[in-house]
Amino acid sequence: MSDLGKTETAVFTARSISLAGAQRVIGAALAHAEELDCRVSLVVIDAGGNMTAMARREGTADTATTVALNKANTALTLHTATDVFGKAIEDNIMLVSSLGSQPGIALIGAIGVSGSRDGKNLFIARAGVDALRSAD
């Protein structure tokens, strides 16, 4: 049998968040940010790390979108929320230096939220994730 006949077993289909899914996440997270009166930027990325959806509330610091994108990439790559990662590196500082050479670990995507000065970014992000989970 030639290698062409084996192609079917050598290829897999990857899952990634759709535009509709990303918009659902952004909508729910943005609504929660408004309820909490938080000025934030929200970024959803797909499994490849590409920005799929983004929103920024009026009055949010200009740098918050970049920070939100970086948080989403960290969550995607590490397969964990950034607050969990922060606690992990407090206990193991060597973890930070070893991560620079590691390849990405893809999920279907990730959300990053930045701008809230009172620690509510995580609650806003989780509201978006919960909206996507409840749609399944």
Q: Given this model, what pLDDT does residue 28 score? A: 96
Q: What is the band of 101 on the pLDDT scale with cuts at 50, 70, 90?
A: very low
Is it the case that residue 32 has pLDDT exceeding 80?
yes
The per-residue pLDDT for 104 is 47
What is the average pLDDT value for the chain, to the nearest integer?
81
- pLDDT beyond 50 at 86: yes
Mean pLDDT along residues 98-123: 72
The count of other CB atoms within 10 Å of the CB of residue 43 is 27
To 10 degrees, what angle do helices 64-78 and 82-91 make? 70
**Banded model confidence at residue 27, pLDDT cuts 50, 70, 90:** very high
The amino acid occupying position 105 is: I
pLDDT at 81: 76
pLDDT in tens, 33-43: 999 999 999 99
28-31 contacts at long range (C-beta below 8 A, 24 or more positions apart): 28/127, 28/128, 28/130, 28/131, 28/132, 29/55, 29/111, 29/113, 29/124, 29/125, 29/127, 29/128, 29/131, 30/55, 30/57, 31/127
Backbone angles phi, psi at 112, to 5 degrees: -125, 140
State the Cα–Cα distance between residues 126 and 22, nearest whole angstrom: 13
- The 8-class DSSP code of residue 136 comes to -
- Residue 37, pLDDT score: 93
Identify the pLDDT of residue 11.
Answer: 72
Given a cut of 50, whether residue 98 has pLDDT beyond it is yes
Q: 0.85 cut: is pTM over it?
A: no
CB contact at 8 A, 44 and 54: yes
Q: Which two tokens stand for residue 85?
A: 């990662």
